[in-house]
C-alpha cells in the first residue's frame, strides 16, 4: 500500500519525500509553517519556511535567532522529491495553504500526486490579508474549527455596523468601548473594519506589537494610541480599545474607566453559540471569525477539486462524515493536539498584568 504524501507523526504532519514537517507540534529540523498562530507555529525549530509576507509576523512570535525563509505566494520550490508551494489562505496576514506535489514516481506513489494542507482559512474577503484562492489537489487536509451547520456567518459589513453602533452609544453615555480580540488577525481586522470617525482608536500594548509586525508585512492599519498613561486618559469615555482576552480580569481596565466606565465585548465565531458571551463575562458578543464557516468549508472542498479529504482541527468527525456520506468523497480524520474554543486563546501573547 502506498504511503501518504503527508503523514501523521508524533511531531505532527510530515512529508518524508520532502524531508519537512508542516505546522509541527514540537521542535523539528525543517518546519513549513502556514501562519504564526501558536497552535501552528512552535518555537525552537532549526529552520522555518513560510510565506514571504508572513516572515516579519512569524519572526515576532519566534525566538530572536530563528532562521526564517519566506516564499512568495505561488512560487514553486523543488524540495527532495516534491514541489512545494504556498497559496493565500485568507485567515490572517501572511497565512498560507501548503501544496505538496510528488515530482517522480517512487515507492510511495505516482508522480504528480498533489496534497493540500489548508491550515486555518476563510473564504470571506478581508482587507488585512490576501483572499483565499482555490488550489487544485487530489487530497486536501482541511481545518474544521467551525465544521457544523450551525456556524454560518453574516456579512462582515453587517457585524462592523453593529460594532460601530455599540461604540457610538457607549461614547454618547461616556463609556469606553473595550473589545477583546486575539492579538494576531482578529485585532487587525477589527481596526481595519470599524469606522474611525466614531472616535479615537486605542490598543493594548500586546496588540500594538503585532500591529508593528503586520505593518512591516504591508498591512494598512489606521492610527491608534497605546492605551497606557496619559493616552489611556485621553480616550477614556470616547474610544474603542482593542485588547487581548487575557486582560479581562486584570487591573488594566481601571485605566479606561473601571467597571462602571467601560463596556466590554468579545469578537469571535464562538459568539454564535448560546451562552458563550455569558462564559466570557462581557456585555456584548459579536460574531466575526477568521475561520471558514460551514458553507465556506464545503465550497472550498468543492473548489479545490479533491477526491480525498482529511479533516482536522475542530469538528472533524462531523465534517468528515458529511463529506463522505453527502458529498460522496473519500474522507478521513487527522489527529490534532488543538481542539475547541480554548484553541484561540493560544493565539495571543499573554501579557503581564502591568503591560499596556
pLDDT tens-digit series, residues 40-86: 999 999 999 999 999 999 999 999 999 999 999 999 999 999 999 99
Residues of the chain with CATH 3.40.50.10710: 156-286
Nearest Cα residue to 135 out of 99, 169, 160: 99
* Topology (CATH level 3) of domain 156-286: Rossmann fold (3.40.50)
CB neighbours of residue 78 within 10 Å:
10
Maximum CA pair distance of the chain? 70
The pLDDT assigned to 340 comes to: 52
CA–CA distance, 177 with 262 (Å, rounded to integer): 6
Give, for 189, the enclosing helix (H) or strand (E): helix 186-193
Radius of gyration of the chain (CA): 21
The pLDDT assigned to 339 comes to: 60
Average pLDDT score over residue span 9-23: 96
* Topology (CATH level 3) of domain 7-151+291-347: Metallo-beta-lactamase; Chain A (3.60.15)
The predicted-structure confidence for 129-142, as pLDDT tens digits, reads as follows 999 999 999 999 99
Residues of the chain with CATH 3.60.15.10: 7-151+291-347
Burial class of residue 92 (count of CB atoms within 10 Å of its CB; 0-12, 13-18, 19+):
buried
DSSP, collapsed to helix, strand or coil, labels residue 213 as helix
CA–CA distance, 309 with 142 (Å, rounded to integer): 7
The predicted-structure confidence for 308-335, as pLDDT tens digits, reads as follows 999 999 999 999 999 999 999 999 999 8
Amino acid at each position: 500500500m502506498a504511503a501518504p504524501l503527508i503523514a501523521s507523526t508524533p511531531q505532527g504532519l510530515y512529508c518524508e519525500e520532502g524531508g519537512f514537517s508542516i505546522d509541527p507540534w514540537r521542535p523539528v529540523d525543517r518546519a513549513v509553517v502556514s501562519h504564526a498562530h501558536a497552535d501552528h507555529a512552535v518555537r525552537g525549530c532549526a529552520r522555518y519556511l513560510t510565506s514571504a509576507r508572513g516572515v516579519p509576523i512569524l519572526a515576532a512570535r519566534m525566538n530572536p535567532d530563528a532562521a526564517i525563509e519566506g516564499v512568495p505566494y505561488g512560487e514553486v520550490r523543488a524540495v527532495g522529491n516534491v514541489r512545494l508551494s504556498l497559496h493565500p489562505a485568507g485567515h490572517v496576514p501572511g497565512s498560507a495553504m501548503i501544496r505538496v506535489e510528488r515530482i517522480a514516481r517512487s515507492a510511495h506513489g505516482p508522480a504528480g500526486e498533489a496534497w493540500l494542507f489548508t491550515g486555518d482559512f476563510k473564504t470571506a474577503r478581508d482587507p488585512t490579508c490576501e483572499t483565499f484562492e482555490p488550489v487544485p489537489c487530489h487530497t486536501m487536509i482541511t481545518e474544521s474549527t467551525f465544521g457544523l451547520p450551525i456556524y454560518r456567518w453574516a456579512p462582515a459589513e453587517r457585524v462592523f455596523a453593529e460594532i460601530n453602533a455599540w461604540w457610538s452609544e457607549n461614547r454618547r453615555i461616556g463609556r469606553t468601548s473595550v473589545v477583546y480580540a486575539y492579538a494576531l488577525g482578529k485585532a487587525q481586522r477589527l481596526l481595519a473594519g470599524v469606522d474611525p470617525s466614531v472616535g479615537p482608536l486605542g490598543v493594548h500594548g500586546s496588540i500594538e506589537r503585532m500591529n508593528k509586525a503586520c505593518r512591516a508585512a504591508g498591512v494598512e492599519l489606521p492610527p491608534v494610541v497605546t492605551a497606557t498613561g496619559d493616552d489611556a486618559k485621553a480616550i477614556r469615555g470616547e474610544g474603542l480599545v482593542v485588547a487581548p482576552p487575557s486582560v479581562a480580569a486584570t487591573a488594566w481596565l481601571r485605566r479606561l474607566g473601571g467597571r462602571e466606565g467601560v463596556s466590554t465585548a468579545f469578537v469571535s465565531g464562538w459568539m454564535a453559540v448560546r451562552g458563550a458571551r455569558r462564559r466570557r463575562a462581557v456585555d456584548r458578543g459579536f460574531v466575526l471569525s477568521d475561520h471558514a464557516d460551514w458553507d465556506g468549508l464545503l465550497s472550498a472542498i468543492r473548489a479545490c477539486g479533491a477526491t480525498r479529504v482529511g479533516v482536522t482541527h475542530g469538528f472533524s468527525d462531523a465534517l468528515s462524515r458529511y463529506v463522505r456520506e453527502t458529498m460522496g468523497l473519500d474522507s478521513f480524520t487527522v489527529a490534532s493536539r488543538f481542539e475547541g474554543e480554548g484553541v484561540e486563546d493560544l493565539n495571543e501573547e499573554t501579557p503581564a498584568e502591568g503591560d499596556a
